[in-house]
Amino acid sequence: MPIIVNLDVMMAKRKISLNELSEKVGLTLANLSILKTGKAKAVRFSTLETICKVLDCQPGDILEYRES
């Protein structure tokens, strides 16, 4: 898939665990894990906004486009 999810990279930079991010964002561990592994088909802007607030980053820090 040409959209790469770098959520794990940002989580490592901010030293935050999946459990902690899940609690702060309000997503289940399963849904956050699907997003983190790049298996999600879509993400709501409101979810992306909350993740960016918690991780103090921009959407482009989490999502990346690469031509295949």
Question: How sure is the predictor about 68, in pLDDT bands with cuts at 50, 70 and 90?
Answer: confident
What angle in degrees, to the nearest 10, is found between the helix axes of 7-14 and 45-55?
A: 30
Both ends of the chain: CA-CA distance in Å?
7
The CATH code for residues 3-65 is 1.10.260.40
Q: What pLDDT is attached to residue 13?
A: 97
Q: What pLDDT is attached to residue 54?
A: 97
pLDDT in tens, 1-60: 699 999 999 999 999 999 999 999 999 999 999 999 999 999 999 999 999 999 999 999
Question: Which of 10 and 68 is assigned the larger pLDDT?
Answer: 10
d(CA 9, CA 15): 10
**What are the residue boundaries of the structural domains of the chain, listed by start?**
3-65
